[in-house]
Amino acid sequence: MSRRVFIGDTEYFPGIEQINYEGPESDNPLAFKAYDPARIVAGKPMEEHLRFAVCYWHSFCGGGADPFGPDTRSPAWAKKADPNARAPARMDAAFEFFTKLNVPYWCFHDVDIAWEGASVEESERNLQAMVELAKARQQETGIKLLWGTANLFSNPRYMNGAATNPNFNVLAYAAAQVKAALDATVELGGENYVFWGGREGYASLQNTDTKRELEHFAMFLEKARDYGRSIGFKGSFLIEPKPMEPMYHQYDFDAQTVIGFLRQHGLDRDFKLNIEANHATLAGHTFAHDLRMAADAGLLGSIDANRGNSQNGWDTDQFPTDLYDTVHAMMVVLEAGGLGRGGLNFDAKLRRESTDLEDLFIAHIGGMDCFARGLIIANRITNDERYRALKYGRYSSFDSGDGKRFEAGELSLADLRNLAATNGEPQQLSGKQELIENLINDFIVRC
């Protein structure tokens, strides 16, 4: 018996059936080669490690437009002129896609699923209507919400920022949007709520009181946290760092900047980080670096999975296909004990030139397989005795004796000086970087 894989009255991806795992030998472009949801890795099923989500904005609102030309795709769900008809059609298409792809989660901004009205009340009503439809679709399909968020960067009113806008009335308007988006997230059982500070930053230091803006930002987050908790939101609030674009400088520059900010304002009990690969690279780091900094702080919340392009310096939001990158990312995730209530959201878009309906499936399948392989390989590496000895064995001088006493805070600077004088010139210990790199490549090839 074939399972019904589309929702509502229209099939938006005709000719595409349920995507299944067919194994590494399959040459079917519409099948998983590595992502086998039920396969046990490190004691739990792959789907529980990876918790994949599809993002609504790129996949169902974007059509390929760039600053030099319009959309190149016009799928059936985007063709209806009346937003009252377009928004539900888009949602049915989205839930058909999630179901056929077999992802457990989705993510959205308020304005992706509903359209802004002429007043706060009208926008709230539009959103509520679409939340009701989304709730019904979630119940029919079993697909869940990884996170919701408010778009506080597209509307021209936010050109000077939202929570950091010099105009209080804009800040209040942003708060209205966040309140409604939090209501929507809670109504849909969302596991997290995201803040990406798109225009929370500045274009010119000359006209900006950065100190005051950052204080407003912290106060705004505090009030959002209090409201979320008051309506029963139990999940994590997440900040998604990004150093620039659209602003010349954004306050949530990178993981370490955000960690410092959260701790400074006592927000680190409720807020964690949503690390996006391409944002980390824009900040001059690797994806794994920002994951590692968040994990070390105990604040790794969730991941926006994509990749940039090393030849240019902007947020290209490509689908992740670089195995080396996903292996390193999953090493951090496994060593951190997993993503908890977070997941892997494909904040990625098709290239403008990819215009077939099936391309959206192919792109996600590639990304899911890339992370599934990354997980399998990372699990083998992180359990390998040679890897562990090379990485953790380097610190063995702190495991006993004076090193251990130092870690316990028992040695003063003068004590350290005296030990140096007694022990003499330290023996050099090789970092063995090439050996560990070779080991990782051997694991990748043998997978």
| Positions that interact with ligand XLS (CB under 6 A) | 109, 149, 194, 196, 240, 242, 276, 304, 315, 347
273 or 368: whose CB is closer to ligand XLS? Answer: 273
Q: Which does 369 bind (CB under 5 to 8 A by kind): ligand XLS, Ni ion, none?
A: none
Q: How far is the CB of 54 from Ni ion (least distance, A)?
A: 13
CB atoms under 10 Å from CB of 154, counted, come to 14
183 or 304: whose CB is closer to ligand XLS? Answer: 304
- Give, as one character, the DSSP assignment of residue 318: B
Q: Which does 252 bind (CB under 5 to 8 A by kind): ligand XLS, Ni ion, none?
A: none
Candidates 62-70, 164-172, 243-251, 274-282; binding stretch for Ni ion (CB under 5 A):
274-282
Q: Under rule CB under 5 A, which residues in 336-365 are in contact with Ni ion? A: 347
Task: Produce one character per residue of 237-273: b if its CB has 16 or more CB atoms within 10 Å, e if not.
Answer: bbbbbbbbeebeebbbbbbbbbbebbeebebbebbbb
13 or 195: whose CB is closer to Ni ion? Answer: 195
Q: Which does 292 bind (CB under 5 to 8 A by kind): Ni ion, ligand XLS, none?
A: none
276 belongs to the binding site for Ni ion (CB under 5 A): yes
- For residue 289, the SS3 value is helix
Q: What are phi and psi of 108, to 5 degrees?
A: -150, 160
Q: How far is the CB of 243 from ligand XLS (least distance, A)?
A: 11
The two structure tokens encoding residue 176: 């209205």
Task: Produce one character per residue of 162-172: b if its CB has 16 or more CB atoms within 10 Å, e if not.
Answer: bbbbeeeebbe
Rounded Cα distance, 192 and 185, in Å: 8
Q: Examine residue 246 and say whether the peptide bond preceding it is cis (omega within 30 degrees of 0).
A: yes
Q: How far is the CB of 149 from ligand XLS (least distance, A)?
A: 5
304 belongs to the binding site for Ni ion (CB under 5 A): yes
8 or 246: whose CB is closer to ligand XLS? Answer: 246
Spatial contact of 377 and 41, defined as CB atoms under 8 Å apart = no
Position of minimal CB gap to ligand XLS: 196
**Beta strand pairing call for 44-45 and 40-41:** antiparallel
Q: How far is the CB of 228 from ligand XLS (least distance, A)?
A: 17
124 or 315: whose CB is closer to Ni ion? Answer: 315
Q: What are phi and psi of 405, to 5 degrees?
A: -65, -35
Q: Which does 149 bind (CB under 5 to 8 A by kind): ligand XLS, Ni ion, none?
A: ligand XLS
275 or 372: whose CB is closer to ligand XLS? Answer: 275
315 belongs to the binding site for Ni ion (CB under 5 A): yes
**Beta strand pairing call for 192-196 and 201-202:** unpaired
Candidates 17-25, 225-233, 302-310, 396-404; binding stretch for Ni ion (CB under 5 A):
302-310
Rounded Cα distance, 367 and 223, in Å: 36
Spatial contact of 343 and 235, defined as CB atoms under 8 Å apart = no
Q: How far is the CB of 273 from ligand XLS (least distance, A)?
A: 12
Residues 6 or more apart whose CB falls under 8 angstroms from that of 404 comprise 398
Q: Which positions are catalytic?
A: 109, 112
Q: How far is the CB of 13 from ligand XLS (least distance, A)?
A: 23
Q: By the criterion CB under 5 A, which residues form the site for Ni ion?
A: 276, 304, 315, 347
